[in-house]
Chain A
Amino acid sequence: MKKFSISSLLSQLLLLFFVIIWIIPTFGLFISSLRDKDLLAISGWWTSLTTTEVNEIYRMSGMESQIEEDGYFKIKGKLFEDNSGKKIESFGITSKKINEFNIGDIAIFKDESEVLLDEDGNYEWRSRTEFKKKKGKRLFTTSLSPPAFTFENYREVLFKEGIGRAFVNTMAVALPSTLIPLIICSFFAYSLTWMKFYGRDTLLAIIIASLVVPLQMSLIPILTIYNDFGALFGVAAKSYPGVWMAHTGFGLASTTFLLRNFLKSLPNEMMEAAKVDGASHYDIFLRIIIPLSIPAFASIFILQFLWCWNDLLVGLVFLDQVPSEIILTAKLKELLGSRGENWEILTTGAFVSMTVPLFIFFALQRYFIRGLVAGSVKG
């Protein structure tokens, strides 16, 4: 349908509207994280996207730097370092008229000294008589400042604010919390699909029921178990292995369910043929099931990994909120509460916490979507 029509134009506009609404919040955070931390708290992020007008006051050098040239005493210098791309539009010599002169005009002070200024901030201040003051005169400038971005916030946050460590902690929580359920559930799903045993259907029904049981149902009893366990063996009750097992428990039903749906779709003849050849269930699992299941594993891995990476509740309840254990989401929440005004830490920290999910999202979107769709089709 290449036909141009009002209705297709309208759909395009409507979709564009949705896209803009959806991207603005994230875009704003991204821009904010790249801004100078002092500007962040006093102006909206959108102002940094366009060239803005800034008024500033500079002081020229004093008598020490004067030279004698062409019958004049001259002081030459630069108002600011030329790294910002700032361009001076107009300037003034009194605070009353800060826009009195344009670039190229010669401004004359009361003592008949003259000053020339170019847009990059180079000035030449000259006088027929010798300069006698230690301090130079003030110049009022109006300049246009182009958008300026910096990675300074990231450098600071990663190494100083404990976000870097929280990142490592989150990884140490999320990786095993994804791999352990994947390992034990693939065997579980295999036996639910391809092995015959008493109670199999009941077990399957339990899995399906567990799919929707809210995590809140488990929190209090598990926390009690952990505390008792800790008291009994005299070890820290809340720690990494505890979180891994909690995530394994909460992700077990969905992982098993998704894997079983996938395994069910494999042809039965293949297993039968392997059995006739004398392969044990473990052989079949290793040599047939695993290679065939790689795409399914990838989808489930992504879903569970993102779930663990983005989780807050489990990390809050089953880990101590100390620097060596705190996860990114809990850290961010802490910053939101106590350091609400330290915008640069908050924005940059939030973006650091999103790097891994966004990487997975863009690199492996296909598997991510496949997993979501597979998980939903059955409800």
Chain B
Amino acid sequence: MTILNLVFIVFLGILFFIAYFHISNYILDIYGHKTLKRYNFENSIRVIVFITPAFIVLFIFILYPVFETIRLSFYDKFGREFVGLYNYKWAVNDPEFRRSILNNLVWLLVVPTLSTFFGLVIANLADRIWWGSIAKSIIFMPMAISFVGAGVIWKFIYEYRGPENTQIGLLNAIIVSLGYEPQAWLTIPMWNNFFLMAIMIWIQTGLALVIFSAALRSIPKEMLEAARIDGASELKIFFSIIIPYLEQTILVIWTLITIIVLRIFDIIFAMTNGEWQTGVLANLMYDWMFRGGGDSGRGSVLAIVIMIGVIPILAWNLYKHRQEQKI
């Protein structure tokens, strides 16, 4: 496909949706203005016109796949024959699966916690310092970069050369200058997970930071002033006023990062491709989508395990939504 063709179909694709809404509504406008009865009828048609495209997309890309994935998890690799719990049994006994779920749990424990913690600390520091907004910009910047791009960036930190060569990775250069042996960081089982997590924390701290910065502004200034006049140290203020006040925000950010971490794929795919025991569920699933011609049964089981991770959050969101509707 040439670039010119590409520009053309991009333009056409966008135009299609604009045209759909404009033309259908234009017809309805002409039709509806005449009598009240027609006006009401026109309104109910209009609802259909407004929601249909979004609903079709929602149905095809979210609703149907959720049920189809559940169905496929009980079927064989081609999705043809019912095999009961076979795929689930396979998963429980598969060492790769166990390794992945363990890694996923460690990720879920470490990344949201540390990102939230760093975000909160940095937001609090930056709030009181005149060059704080520049600092926030810098720490927030990795949020704009792709996970793969971040992977390339961190390759320069973790790069390993044999002890006889000059190290071009920063971490090894530091280690060597301190008199230790250089290490191939990403190939040390278990520890390599933490080196990969560092990349994610580096990215997600920015997210926590901006949300905390916004939330910090909602703390009444008088309360902080009063505490300072009473002689409370900044550390005391942080633990006794700021943290309790931001409890809700902390929870929100923690869940937000948890959802992102649960489906983490790119960083591991780009850096180690799940080797040296770094695989997580999303990587294993991608693998099974294509390994040996693809196994939709096993892939679906893995997707469902990821889904189970978000169900508590989903239930909590729906519960909160109900509460709001009542008010």
Whether A201 lies near B317 (C-beta < 8 A) is: no
Out of B132, B153, B234, B252, name the residue touching A25 (CB < 8 Å): B153
CB distance from A240 to the nearest CB of B (A): 6
Whether A195 lies near B318 (C-beta < 8 A) is: no
Stretch of B6-14, B84-92, B93-101, B106-114 with 4 or more beta carbons under 8 angstroms from chain A: B6-14
* B285-324 interface code vs A (CB 8 A; 1 in, 0 out): 1100100000010011011101101100110111011000
Q: Which residue from chain A places its CB closest to the CB of B11 in the assembled complex?
A: A176
Give the docked Cα–Cα distance between A78 and B44 (Å): 87
Whether B54 lies near A256 (C-beta < 8 A) is: yes
Give the docked Cα–Cα distance between A354 and B282 (Å): 24
Q: Would you call A209 an interface residue if the criterion is a C-beta within 8 Å of the partner chain's C-beta atoms?
A: yes
Give the docked Cα–Cα distance between A41 and B65 (Å): 46
Number of chain A residues close to chain B: CB under 8 A: 118
Q: Would you call B240 an interface residue if the criterion is a C-beta within 8 Å of the partner chain's C-beta atoms?
A: no
Give chain A residues whose Cβ lies under 8 Å from the Cβ of B61. Answer: 218, 222, 245-246, 248-250, 252
Q: Number of residue pairs across A and B with beta carbons under 8 Å?
A: 343
Q: Would you call B42 an interface residue if the criterion is a C-beta within 8 Å of the partner chain's C-beta atoms?
A: yes
Whether B144 lies near A15 (C-beta < 8 A) is: no
Q: Would you call A337 an interface residue if the criterion is a C-beta within 8 Å of the partner chain's C-beta atoms?
A: yes
Give the docked Cα–Cα distance between A368 and B141 (Å): 11
* A314-333 interface code vs B (CB 8 A; 1 in, 0 out): 00110000001100110011
Q: Would you call B129 an interface residue if the criterion is a C-beta within 8 Å of the partner chain's C-beta atoms?
A: yes
Out of A19, A212, A217, name the residue touching B69 (CB < 8 Å): A217
Whether A332 lies near B148 (C-beta < 8 A) is: yes
In chain A between 330 and 358, which residues have their CB closer than 8 angstroms to a CB of chain B? Answer: 332-333, 336-337, 346-347, 349-350, 353-354, 357-358
In chain B between 27 and 74, which residues have their CB closer than 8 angstroms to a CB of chain A? Answer: 28-29, 32-33, 42-44, 46-47, 49-51, 53-55, 57-58, 60-66, 68-69, 72
Whether B144 lies near A360 (C-beta < 8 A) is: yes
Whether A44 lies near B210 (C-beta < 8 A) is: no
Give chain A residues whose Cβ lies under 8 Å from the Cβ of B7. Answer: 172
Q: Would you call B226 an interface residue if the criterion is a C-beta within 8 Å of the partner chain's C-beta atoms?
A: no
Q: Would you call A270 an interface residue if the criterion is a C-beta within 8 Å of the partner chain's C-beta atoms?
A: no
Whether B58 lies near A361 (C-beta < 8 A) is: no
Whether A252 lies near B60 (C-beta < 8 A) is: no
Whether A373 lies near B214 (C-beta < 8 A) is: yes
In chain A between 17 and 46, which residues have their CB closer than 8 angstroms to a CB of chain B? Answer: 18-19, 22-26, 28-29, 32, 40-46
Give chain A residues whose Cβ lies under 8 Å from the Cβ of B1. Answer: 324-325
Given the known inter-chain contacts A195-B46, A216-B282, A217-B307, please indicate yes or no for A332 contacting B32, CB distance below 8 A. Answer: no
If over half of B's interface residues share one DSSP class (helix, strand or loop), that class is named, otherwise mixed; here it is: helix
* A72-113 interface code vs B (CB 8 A; 1 in, 0 out): 000000000000000000000000000000000000000000
Q: Which residue from chain B places its CB closest to the CB of A330 in the assembled complex?
A: B148
Whether B144 lies near A361 (C-beta < 8 A) is: yes
Number of chain B residues close to chain A: CB under 8 A: 119
Q: Would you call B17 an interface residue if the criterion is a C-beta within 8 Å of the partner chain's C-beta atoms?
A: yes
Give chain B residues whose Cβ lies under 8 Å from the Cβ of A183. Answer: 14, 17-18, 21
Whether A216 lies near B58 (C-beta < 8 A) is: no
Q: Would you call A234 an interface residue if the criterion is a C-beta within 8 Å of the partner chain's C-beta atoms?
A: no
Q: Would you call A369 an interface residue if the criterion is a C-beta within 8 Å of the partner chain's C-beta atoms?
A: yes
Stretch of A51-59, A120-128, A154-162, A278-286 with 4 or more beta carbons under 8 angstroms from chain B: A278-286
In chain B between 260 and 281, which residues have their CB closer than 8 angstroms to a CB of chain A? Answer: 262-263, 265-266, 269-271, 273, 281
Whether A24 lies near B149 (C-beta < 8 A) is: no
Whether B147 lies near A312 (C-beta < 8 A) is: yes
CB distance from A83 to the nearest CB of B (A): 26
Whether A44 lies near B58 (C-beta < 8 A) is: no
Whether B6 lies near A168 (C-beta < 8 A) is: yes
Q: Which residue from chain A places its CB closest to the CB of B18 in the assembled complex?
A: A183
Give the docked Cα–Cα distance between A45 and B167 (Å): 10
Q: Would you call B246 an interface residue if the criterion is a C-beta within 8 Å of the partner chain's C-beta atoms?
A: no
Whether B321 lies near A208 (C-beta < 8 A) is: yes
Out of A19, A172, A209, A329, name the residue touching B139 (CB < 8 Å): A19
Out of A208, A220, A256, name the residue touching B317 (CB < 8 Å): A208
CB distance from B97 to the nearest CB of A (A): 14
Give chain A residues whose Cβ lies under 8 Å from the Cβ of B205. Answer: 22
Give the docked Cα–Cα distance between A7 and B125 (Å): 11
CB distance from A365 to the nearest CB of B (A): 7
Whether B152 lies near A29 (C-beta < 8 A) is: yes
Whether A357 lies near B145 (C-beta < 8 A) is: yes
Give the docked Cα–Cα distance between A282 and B256 (Å): 35
Q: Would you call A306 an interface residue if the criterion is a C-beta within 8 Å of the partner chain's C-beta atoms?
A: yes
Chain B CB within 10 Å — which of A32, A219, A244 has the most? A219
Q: Would you call B157 an interface residue if the criterion is a C-beta within 8 Å of the partner chain's C-beta atoms?
A: yes
Whether A216 lies near B25 (C-beta < 8 A) is: no
Give chain A residues whose Cβ lies under 8 Å from the Cβ of B285. Answer: 216, 219
Give chain B residues whose Cβ lies under 8 Å from the Cβ of A256. Answer: 54
Give the docked Cα–Cα distance between A118 and B169 (Å): 37
In chain A between 195 and 244, which residues have their CB closer than 8 angstroms to a CB of chain B? Answer: 195, 197, 201, 203-225, 240-241, 244
Whether B58 lies near A206 (C-beta < 8 A) is: yes
Known contacts A15-B135, A212-B317, A357-B146, then 9 further A-B pairs from the complex at CB < 8 Å, ordered by chain A residue? A8-B128, A18-B118, A24-B170, A191-B51, A208-B318, A214-B310, A219-B65, A312-B146, A349-B152
Q: Which 8 A-B pairs have the closest CB atoms?
A: A249-B61, A310-B146, A188-B54, A282-B25, A350-B152, A218-B65, A221-B68, A361-B144
**Residues in B lying within 8 Å of A, measured CB to CB:** 1, 3, 6-7, 9-10, 13-14, 17-18, 21, 25-26, 28-29, 32-33, 42-44, 46-47, 49-51, 53-55, 57-58, 60-66, 68-69, 72, 79, 118, 122, 125-126, 128-129, 132, 135, 137-149, 151-157, 166-170, 173, 202, 205, 207, 210-211, 214, 233-234, 252-253, 255-256, 259, 262-263, 265-266, 269-271, 273, 281-282, 285-286, 289, 296, 299-300, 302-304, 306-307, 309-310, 313-314, 316-318, 320-321, 325
